[in-house]
Amino acid sequence: MTDDPSSSSVTRTQERSWLERLLHSFSTEPKSRDDLLEIIKDAAENKLLDQEALNIIEGALDVSSLQAREIMIPRTQIVAVKLDDTPQEFLPKIIESGHSRFPVIGDSIDDIKGILLAKDLLRMMLEGTTDFSLDSIIRTANIVPESKRVNVLLREFREQRYHMALVIDEYGGISGLITIEDILEEIVGNIEDETDEEVSDELIKRVSDTDYVIKALTPIDDFNDYFNAGLSDEDFDTMGGILMQSFGHLPKRNEVTEIDGFTFRVLYADNRQIHLVRLTVGASDT
């Protein structure tokens, strides 16, 4: 028989069973994070949530346990503008970085004067103002400790309507910066925009005489053949494995490592693996 009333009855029973477990989870105290995740995963298995929704929920739960130090852009990768720089000095840096907000510093990175928004600078230049100082257009910098809970910081970003904060260590020195996009990427995954490097189907793509974009899934043998290199494939099959070993941790965007004279800069990595790197080689090697 094609119409089996018992089939729909079983489905309703399964749904009712899951809903009863969900209601029960919120009616008793206490419940652990693992218990909650188990129920949410059961919901996904029963097609009440899709995989993307499950990933977002898990990401949101993970964020609640993170501190600013764990996802911040480290001090060495901060693109800052000096307060006394001329437009001729800071404009190339702003254009090359593709960012929209920049810390403005005095004598050193620890001497934070404020935050420069690219749109404020553009507005002033469109008005034809040529004689101006950055001091007249920078905004107040928001400072948070390394121990700041990321979920609390996200709420402050939303309520106070700012998108960047400088992170300080226990001695008051700048240890990094964090943006609202950094937090959102921890929840929903990498957010690419028009300034990100385009990903093509090629494993190795030449972009200049000395620069290449390389997928981390590139087999080591292919890399060696392309660049006449001698990287070992004894422990790993792909460039991603060698890169992870070289970094010693899961790197973030723009982190750099050098292997056998090749310089690799991370273009795209999520909270699980490296995906894309930019390789720079000496002109004599190409």
Write down the pLDDT at residue 192: 56
Options 3.10.580.10, 3.10.20.600, 3.50.50.60, 3.90.1150.10; CATH for 69-188 is 3.10.580.10
Question: For all residues of the chain together, what is the average pLDDT?
Answer: 80
Higher-pLDDT residue of 184, 168: 168
Q: What is the DSSP letter of 197?
A: P
| pLDDT band of 228, cuts 50, 70, 90 | very high
Domain chopping of the chain, boundaries: 5-49, 69-188, 204-285
Higher-pLDDT residue of 46, 83: 83
Would you say residue 113 has pLDDT above 90? yes
Write down the pLDDT at residue 15: 54
Of the ranges 69-73, 191-195, 201-205, the best mean pLDDT one: 69-73
Q: Per CATH, which fold does 204-285 belong to?
A: 3.30.465
Q: What percent of the chain has pLDDT over 70?
A: 80
| pLDDT band of 136, cuts 50, 70, 90 | confident
Write down the pLDDT at residue 57: 78
- In the sheet with 164-168, reading across from the earlier edge strand, the strands are 73-74, 174-179, 164-168, 143-145
Phi, then psi, of 28 in degrees rounded to 5:
-120, 150
| pLDDT band of 159, cuts 50, 70, 90 | very high
Would you say residue 1 has pLDDT above 50? no
Would you say residue 198 has pLDDT above 50? no
Beta strands in 24-123 (DSSP E): 73-74, 81-82, 101-105, 112-117
Write down the pLDDT at residue 200: 47
Q: What percent of the chain has pLDDT over 90?
A: 31
pTM above 0.85, yes or no: no
| pLDDT band of 52, cuts 50, 70, 90 | confident
pLDDT tens digits, one per residue of 9-32: 555 555 556 556 555 555 554 357
CA distance 12 to 5: 11
Would you say residue 233 has pLDDT above 60? yes
Closest residue by Cα to residue 220 from 202, 236, 201, 203: 236
